[in-house]
Amino acid sequence: MKMKALVIDAIKAPKPDYVFDDFEKRTGWARDGSRVWKDAKYEVKEIDVPKIGPKDVLIKVHACGICGSDVHVYQHDEDGYIKFAWNTMFPNVPGHEYSGQIVELGSEVRNLEVGDYVTGEEMQYCGECDACRTYHFNQCQFLREPGYTEPGAIAEYIKIESKFVWKINDIIDRYGVKDGCEVGALVEPTGISYNGTIIRPNGIKPGQFGAVYGTGPIGLGCLALMRIGGCSKIFAFEVSKERAELAKKFGADYVFNPLELSEQGLTTRDVIMEHTNGWGVDMQIECAGKPHLLYPIMDKSIAVGGRIINIAHSPGNANIPVNMAEHMWKAGSLYGSNGHAGDSIFRNAINVLASGRIDHRNMITGRYSLDNAVEAIEETKRATGGKILVTMND
């Protein structure tokens, strides 16, 4: 049986100084795709429908979001290498932000049925490495990820191990099947925001001040959680006009364009201090992928006992200029946040979306058919709107 899918292929051309470890040699993966794969090409084509094992389910995909990481695979550096510096294997099918309906169950699957509307986790941890055995699932040493190490969901069907599958009944009940499946495709990015806003920094205390730098889909999710969590003043910093307007819908009290502030001789710190009476912000989240520009100002904007959380994946993360004196004097903390596994994150992300307290349908600013999936990636690359979906609703 055949299905239509977006397929990525690339040339395996490791850079001269790249040394494959035993795991990479055994699996064919590259742990740092940006130093191994070049000249990636995308094509919508017919491939075989995945065959499920005893613990798998087969899902008919209704909607799949385009992630910034999908764009990094699509983008090339000056030598043709992809810009995604993580586990990768090609050829592959991209897409890990999805929802759909179960059409087939493996013989050992429990608690799921054919016909269930579901979504699935991207961070498919092994459960056996030292990171997993100490419950750091997002740091799994052998992490599998749809779209990067195995086929993803920009396709008519996706196979996934049942333990990573979650029902989205409450979302469907609120919005109906069509809209509910689109919102269901936002569970995974909302989980990323939830980990960075709630889990890693040990939560939000009502009344605190918050700031989000970069209001793409992850940043918008962080703003929504800050609003629901009770932050009394929320700042958003964004250069895109469309995203700035979305930031207001998702809970920001103050929205500023850093470029316009610079033209006035101001910084983000200046407006933060003005509107917090010199206190600063208790929680700052970096979602822009511009650490070299933001950290020198974020460090000076931190409130006493404040926290900075880095969610955006960026090559610049390896060389962040942190002013430790500010953190020492202010008892500040710096957190790295990766993924969404464990800690009831997926369950709670589903509940947040189903609550309707903030209508996440407003985050969706583009819809493309599977035949036009490359155009969806191109639009996401422009970084001017919210979440772009590839939809396969009948």
Catalytic residues, which ones?
A: 69, 72
Neighbours of 182 (CB within 10 A): 24
CB atoms within 10 A of CB 318: 8
What is the rounded distance in angstroms from the CA atom of residue 190 to the CA atom of residue 184?
10
* β-pairing verdict for 2-12 and 37-48: antiparallel
Cα distance between residue 149 and residue 50, in whole Å: 15
* Dist. CA 321–CA 23, nearest whole Å: 33
Q: How far apart are CA 62 and CA 119, in angstroms?
A: 10
Say whether 313 sits in a helix, a strand or coil: coil
Distance between CA atoms of 190 and 254, rounded to whole angstroms? 22
Query: Hey, what are 153's tokens?
Result: 């969901």
Q: Kindly state the DSSP code that residue 251 receives in the 8-state scheme.
A: T
* Half-sphere exposure at residue 222, Cβ-oriented, CA atoms within 13 angstroms: 35
Tell me if 131 sits within 8 A of 140, measured CB to CB. yes
Q: Which residue shows structure tokens 């419950």? A: 135
Distance from first CA to last CA of the chain, Å, rounded?
19
Q: What is the largest CA-CA distance in the chain?
A: 65
Beta bridge partners of 63: 99, 391
Which helix (H) or strand (E) segment holds residue 170: the answer is helix 169-184
Amino acid, res. 255: V
Encoded tokens for 149 = 């190490």
